[in-house]
């Protein structure tokens, strides 16, 4: 796999050593059991897969190259490069301006841009409408287009479905940049509609089965279907794609549900006419991270700490998996670990910060699950580990732990 040129400040020699060792012993990524790091009074279970993925490293490399190659020029990002606060702060410090926030609210008006400006398209991709605006200004958009190839893969799958006259059902979060981009691209080729979860999928199923009025459909899905969408004729043939960072099990369940609806209506013998049994469009890194989290949860632990940006979809799903089994704290950096008895963490369900006291149990050893999302630098995870270790005087050094594991 390609090695990307990204700042060394994002990497951790300690974590890189562990990842390299696991890769050498498991090159085909069949073993999702975690790595146990025994520091004496505290132990860490480290996920088999976590941290920067191909798409993220590619995006960071291109962004830094844009700055290097364009001294004196104004450089813009359409929105956050990735959903990680430290990376986005670094880009701002380099002079890159953000045109809009993650919700699409603009900081910089289009009329302020000129053909001489540099605009970087983030890893989530962008809509055809925004591409048209930039092309109209005369800005070259492909040179610094960091759209993740796995997002592009979803767009190609959508195009294929559209050309075969299937309506596209997108499993994604309505306001997420990637879903907005995928919706725009899929709508170019086919009627398209977004469902965020199984509850919305079942509402759509009710209409397909004839148990909901057109008025009810429009009320529930207003703003989430393509222009000219006719629910009475556009839901005869459907296929499912997804926002690449959704839970794979959720996407599969939604696809299975719509397949069953079509079987009930049209019979098993006619299913290919009404349902496109697409392969999952989840990206490999999201899938690996989720499988690695399931591997983590097979082991006994006292708590879990998940590190990443609070608006990171793939990270929030790792939190969701962990909190089903044990106390889980979603933090963005070591700064949220206030001391040995207090942690400030994010409740992504309620979108609010919480403060929890006595989050570390009084026992010896304490076992902590530690993982991160695909947009979180290993260096940030390393910093979290160091902060936690500081709460346990007399712990073994990292060098000793690696030596005892026969990793060097």
Catalytic positions are 178
Residue 181 to residue 203: CA distance in whole angstroms: 24
Q: Both tokens of residue 400? A: 């000793």
Count Cα atoms within 13 angstroms, Cβ side, for 186: 34
Taking alpha carbons only, the member of 32, 46, 14, 29 closest to residue 372 is: 46
Tell me how far apart the alpha carbons of residues 294 and 110 are, in angstroms, rounded to a whole number: 44
DSSP-based helix, strand, coil % in the chain, nearest 5: 40, 15, 40
CA distance 20 to 27: 10
- Opening angle at CA 77, ends 73 and 83, nearest 5: 145
Asked whether the CA dihedral 348, 349, 351, 352 is positive or negative, the reply is negative
CA 11/CA 205 separation, integer angstroms:
46
Give the 3-state DSSP-derived string for 15-40, with helices as H, strands as E and coil as C.
Answer: HHHHHHHHHHHCCCCCCCCCEEEECC
């Amino acid at each position: 796999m390609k090695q990307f040129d990204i700042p060394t400040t994002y990497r951790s020699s300690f974590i890189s050593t562990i990842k390299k060792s696991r890769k050498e012993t498991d090159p085909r990524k069949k073993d999702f059991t975690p790595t146990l790091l025994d520091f004496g009074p505290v132990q860490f279970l480290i996920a088999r897969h976590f941290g920067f993925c191909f798409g993220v490293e590619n995006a960071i490399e291109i962004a830094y190259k844009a700055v290097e190659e364009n001294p004196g020029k104004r450089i813009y990002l359409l929105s956050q490069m990735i959903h990680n606060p430290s990376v986005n702060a670094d880009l701002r410090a380099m002079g890159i301006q953000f045109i809009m926030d993650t919700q699409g609210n603009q900081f910089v008006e289009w009329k302020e841009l000129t053909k001489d400006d540099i605009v970087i398209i983030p890893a989530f991709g962008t809509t055809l409408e925004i591409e048209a605006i930039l092309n109209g200004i005369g800005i070259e958009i492909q040179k610094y287009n960091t759209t993740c190839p796995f997002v592009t893969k979803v767009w190609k799958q959508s195009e294929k479905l559209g050309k075969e006259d299937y309506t596209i059902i997108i499993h994604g979060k309505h306001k997420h940049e990637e879903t907005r981009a995928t919706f725009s691209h899929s709508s170019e080729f086919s009627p398209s509609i977004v469902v965020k979860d199984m509850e919305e999928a079942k509402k759509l199923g009710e209409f397909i089965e004839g148990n909901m009025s057109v008025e009810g459909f429009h009320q529930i899905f207003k703003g989430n279907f393509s222009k000219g969408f006719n629910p009475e004729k556009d839901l005869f043939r459907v296929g499912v794609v997804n926002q690449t960072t959704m839970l794979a099990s959720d996407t599969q369940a939604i696809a299975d549900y719509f397949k069953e609806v079509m079987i009930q209506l049209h019979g098993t013998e006619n299913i290919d006419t009404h349902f496109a049994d697409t392969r999952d469009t989840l990206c490999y890194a999201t899938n690996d991270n989720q499988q690695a989290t399931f591997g983590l949860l097979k082991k006994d632990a006292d708590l879990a700490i998940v590190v990443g940006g609070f608006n990171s979809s793939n990270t929030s799903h790792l939190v969701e998996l962990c909190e089903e089994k044990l106390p889980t704290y979603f933090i963005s950096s070591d700064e949220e670990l206030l001391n040995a008895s207090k942690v400030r963490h994010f409740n992504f369900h309620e979108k609010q910060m919480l403060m929890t006291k006595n989050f570390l149990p009084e026992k010896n050893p304490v076992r902590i699950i530690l993982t991160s999302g695909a947009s979180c630098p290993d260096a940030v995870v390393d910093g979290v580990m160091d902060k936690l270790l500081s709460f346990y005087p007399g712990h073994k050094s990292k060098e000793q732990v690696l030596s005892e594991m026969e990793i060097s």
